[in-house]
Structure 1
Amino acid sequence: MAMLLSRRFVLAWLVSFFSGLAYFLFVHFPRYLEGMGADEAEIGRIAAATVLAALLIRPMVGRAMDRRGRRPVILVGNAAHVLALLLYLTVHSIGPWLYVVRFIHGFSEALLFAAIFTFAADIIPEERRTEGLALFGVSGLLPVAVGGVLGDVILAHSDFTALFGAAIVLGTIALLLALPLRESVELAPMERHPSFLACLTQRDLLPLWWITFVFSFALTAYFTFLRTYVDETGIGSVGAFFAAYASTAIALRVFAGWLPDRIGLKRVLYPAMLTLGSGFVALSVSHSDLTVTLAGVLCGAGHGYVFPILFALVFGRASASSRGTAAVIFTGMWDVGVVTGAPLLGAVVTRFGYEAMFQTAAIAVGIGLLSFAFWDRDLRIPRRGSNYTRVTPATYSPGHDVGDPVTEPSQ
C-alpha cells in the first residue's frame, strides 16, 4: 500500500495546522466587534467583506498555481497572513480601516487554503486520495478545537491584544515551516491550461460547486454566530462545542478515513450531510450545555467526511492541468457560502432569533442535498442508453465497484 506520511506531507500538515490555529483564534472576533458596538448584522457584513476579498483574488490564485506551482502561492499566502495579523493591533473601532485589514486577511486565506490543500492532494497516492485528504484535513480541524479553547483561556486571563499576539506567533511559525517545502508538481510552461471560466462551467463539476456552496452556507451559522449565541443565551460553551466538533471529525478521519475509498464516496456523503443537518436541528432546540455539545458532535461527524469527499470528487473530475484552478473554485464556493450566509443568517437572527437561524441552516442542507442528488443523477434510475456508464474502480474514486449504481455520470 502506498505511503501517506511522507516528509513533505508532514511538513505541509504542520504549515496548515499552525496557520489554521492562528486563523481559528478569530472565532472569538465577534465578541471584539460587539465590544466596539457592532450588532449581529454588522458582524455578518464584516465577515462577508473578508470573504469578498478572497473571492476577488481567487481566479488569479488558480492561474498562479497551475502555471507557477503551489509553493510560491503558499509562501506569499503565509507572508500576507502574518501581515494581516499584525495589522489587527491597529484596529480600535468599526470603520474603513477595519474593512481594509479584513480584506488583507481574506486575501491571505484565499492563497493559503487553496494552495496548501492542492499541494497535499498532489502528493497523496491516487488510490488513497480521500483517506489522505481526510488525514490532512485533521490539520484544519485540530485548530477548530484548540483555537476555541485557547481563545477562551487567553481572554479569561488577558484581552484581545494578547489574542492577536498569539495569532501572530502562530502565523510566523507557519511561514517558517513553509520555507523548506519543495514544489509538488512538475510545471510544463508550454502546456495549455483551461481557463477559470471553463473550469467553473465544466458540466460534471457544476453539481459539486452547488453542494459545496450549500455546505459552507450552513457552516456559517456556527462559525460566525455561535459566539454571540452563547453570550446572549448563556447556553453552552464555544470551546466545548468546537472541541466536540473537532474531536468527532478527527476521530472519524483517523480511524475510519478509509471508509469512503472502500465503499464509495457518495455512499458516505449523503449520510454525512444529513448528520450535519441534524446538528443544526439540535442547536435550534437546545436548552442546555449538553445539547449544544451534542450538536457539536453531530456537526463534526458531518464535516469530518463531507469536506474530503467533496474535494476528492473535484480533484478526480478536473483535468491534471486545471486542478489548481479547480481547487481555487472549490475553496471559493466556501467563500460564496459565507459571503451570502453571514449577512442573510445575521438578518434572520436580528429579526427572528437564533432558533430560526439554525432551523434555516438545517432546511438549507436538506433542500441543497436533495437538489444535488437530482442534479448529479443519483436519484434517477439508470436506463439503457442513459448518461450512466459502468466504471472501473479508479475512474473517480478508489473503491467504487464496477457497475456501482451510486457512481458518477459519464463525461
Structure 2
Amino acid sequence: MLIPELPDYLTRLGGQEYVGLIIALFTFTAGISRPFSGKLTDTIGRVPVMAFGSVVCFLCGFLYPYLLTVWGFLMLRLIHGFSTGTKPTATAAYVADVVPVERRGEAMGALGLFTATGMSLGPAIGSWLADAYSMDALFHVSSVFALMSILILLRMPETLDNQQPFRLRLFKLKREEIFDRQATKPFFVLLLQSFSSGAVLTLAPALSSSLGITNKGLFFTVYTIASLVIRLLFRRSSDRYGRVPVLAISTAVLVAGMAVLTIAHTPVLFYTAAILFGMSWGMNSPTVQAWTADLSDEHTRGRAMATMYIALEAGIGIGAVLSGYLFNHLDLGMEASFALSAVLALVATLYLLWLWQKNRVAGVLQ
C-alpha cells in the first residue's frame, strides 16, 4: 500500500535525494534481522516471530504521520524493515512444517497467491487513499491491516516441537547460524534476481509519472495480477518438473521483462514489462522457497529460510540504492538500471541452465 506513494511523500518532506533509501533502509534492517529471526523461529517458535513482524508493521504505520522530518521518516523506514525481516521467515517455515514434501511447491505457491493478492490490491488502494483522502489516511489504514493479521495469528497453533522460552542470549549468534550453507544455491540465484525488484520499486513510480500515468500503483497491480494468474496455472510445476528447470525458465522471463522496461516509452510497453515481471516472480518466489526447504534440515529450516531472505533483501537493497544513485547523480536515466537488472538476471539464468544440465547428467530432480 505504501511503496508507490513514498517517493513523492519523501520529496515533499524535502528529501528527494534520499528516495533510493526508502527501499534500501527497509531492506537493510530486514537483512540484518534475518539470522536472528531464523534462530528464533527454530527455538521460540514460528507464531511468536510472525506476530512480532506484524506488531512492527502496525506500530510503524501508526507513527508515520507524526514523524514529519526527513530523518524521522528515514529512521522509521529503518525500523519498519524488522517486519519483513521476521514474519516471512517464520511464515515460510510454518508452511513447510504443515505440508507433505511432494506438495511443497504447490503449498508455497498457495502462500504466494495470498501474498500476491495483497500486493496487487495494496498499491492501487494505497494510491487511491492518498489521492482521495490523505497520506495520513493511507498510513492509518495500512496499520489497521497489520492489526488484523495479528488477530489471525492469535488463533494459529504452533508447529515447532520442543519450543524454548525466549531468552536474551538467543540473540548471540554462532558463525554457522548467520548463513546456512545448505541454502547457498538459492541464495546466489535470488541475489541476482532480486536486484531487479530494487530497481523497479525505486524507479517504477517515477516512470509512471513520466508516462502520464497518475495512479503510480497500477504498475504494481498489473504485475501482481500477472503473478497471481501464473501461480494458479502453474502451481504444481516445480513439484512435477523440478525446482531448477522452473527457475531457469522464470528467470529468463525476468530478463525479457527488464529488457522491455529499458525501452518502455509508452504505457503499452510499460504494462507489458509489468506482466512479464509478474509472470517471472509468480514462478520464482514459490519455487525458490520450496527449493530452499528441500535443501534444508528440518531442525534448521528457519535458518535456511532466513539465509534465502537475506539474499532477497540484499539484492533489493543494492538494486534500490544503485538505481537511485544512477538516476539522481550520474544522469544515466532509468534505462541503465533496468539494463543492469537484465544482465544480472541473465547471469542467474545461465547458472541455472548449467545446474539443470548437471542435475540431468547425475539423474537428479531438483
TM-score by structure 2 length? Answer: 0.91
Contact preservation (8 Å) 2:182, 2:304: no
Contact preservation (8 Å) 2:327, 2:334: yes
Is 1:30 aligned to residue 7 of structure 2? Answer: yes
Is 1:131 aligned to residue 89 of structure 2? Answer: no
Is 1:53 aligned to residue 33 of structure 2? Answer: no
Is 1:248 aligned to residue 223 of structure 2? Answer: no
Counterpart of 2:31, as a letter, is: L
Is 1:292 aligned to residue 270 of structure 2? Answer: yes
Residues 213 and 288 from structure 1, CA distance in 2 versus in 1: closer, same or farther, beyond 3 angstroms?
A: same
Is 1:277 aligned to residue 255 of structure 2? Answer: yes
What is the correspondence of 1:4-23 to structure 2 with a 5 Å cutoff?
none
Counterpart of 1:33, as a letter, is: L
The CA deviation string for residues 284-331 of structure 1, in whole angstroms up to 9 with x for no partner, is 111221111111111111001111111111111111111011111111
**Distance across 2 between alignment mates of 1:218 and 1:330:** 16
In the other structure, the counterpart of 1:75 is: 51
**Distance across 1 between alignment mates of 2:204 and 2:352:** 27
Between the aligned residues of both structures, percent identity stands at: 24
In the other structure, the counterpart of 1:154 is: 129
Residues 238 and 99 from structure 1, CA distance in 2 versus in 1: closer, same or farther, beyond 3 angstroms?
A: closer
Contact preservation (8 Å) 1:210, 1:372: no
Residues 199 and 289 from structure 1, CA distance in 2 versus in 1: closer, same or farther, beyond 3 angstroms?
A: same
In the other structure, the counterpart of 1:18 is: none
Find the structure with the greater CA-based Rg.
Answer: 1
1:232 CA drift (Å): 3.4
Q: Which moved more, 1:307-316 or 1:108-117?
A: 108-117
**Distance across 1 between alignment mates of 2:114 and 2:174:** 28
Contact preservation (8 Å) 2:35, 2:177: no
| Superposition misfits of 4+ residues, deviation over 6 angstroms | none
In the other structure, the counterpart of 2:69 is: 93
In the other structure, the counterpart of 1:5 is: none
TM-score by structure 1 length? Answer: 0.81
What is the correspondence of 1:250-399 to structure 2 with a 5 Å cutoff?
250-350=228-328, 351=330, 352-374=332-354, 377-380=355-358, 388=362
Counterpart of 2:49, as a letter, is: V
Residues 204 and 58 from structure 1, CA distance in 2 versus in 1: closer, same or farther, beyond 3 angstroms?
A: closer
Counterpart of 2:18, as a letter, is: E
The CA deviation string for residues 160-182 of structure 1, in whole angstroms up to 9 with x for no partner, is 11111111111111111111111
The CA deviation string for residues 227-257 of structure 1, in whole angstroms up to 9 with x for no partner, is 1221234368533322221112111212320
Counterpart of 1:228, as a letter, is: A
Counterpart of 2:342, as a letter, is: A
**SS of match in other structure, 1:67:** coil
**Distance across 2 between alignment mates of 1:315 and 1:382:** 21
Residues 63 and 38 from structure 1, CA distance in 2 versus in 1: closer, same or farther, beyond 3 angstroms?
A: same
Contact preservation (8 Å) 2:96, 2:104: yes
Residues 89 and 382 from structure 1, CA distance in 2 versus in 1: closer, same or farther, beyond 3 angstroms?
A: closer
Residues 288 and 233 from structure 1, CA distance in 2 versus in 1: closer, same or farther, beyond 3 angstroms?
A: closer
Q: Which structure has more helix as a fraction of its residues?
A: 2
**Distance across 2 between alignment mates of 1:362 and 1:43:** 22
Contact preservation (8 Å) 2:222, 2:274: yes
In the other structure, the counterpart of 2:167 is: none
1:196 CA drift (Å): 6.2
**Distance across 1 between alignment mates of 2:224 and 2:293:** 24
Gaps of 5+ in 2: 165-169
Question: What is the number of residues matched between the two proteins?
Answer: 357
The CA deviation string for residues 361-402 of structure 1, in whole angstroms up to 9 with x for no partner, is 11111123324544xx3355977xxxx4xxxxxxxxxxxxxx
Counterpart of 1:225, as a letter, is: L
**SS of match in other structure, 1:238:** coil
**Distance across 2 between alignment mates of 1:183 and 1:381:** 36
**Distance across 1 between alignment mates of 2:339 and 2:214:** 18
1:202 CA drift (Å): 5.2
Counterpart of 1:262, as a letter, is: R
**Distance across 2 between alignment mates of 1:115 and 1:102:** 21
1:280 CA drift (Å): 1.0
Gaps of 5+ in 1: 1-23, 389-402
Counterpart of 2:7, as a letter, is: P
**SS of match in other structure, 2:220:** helix
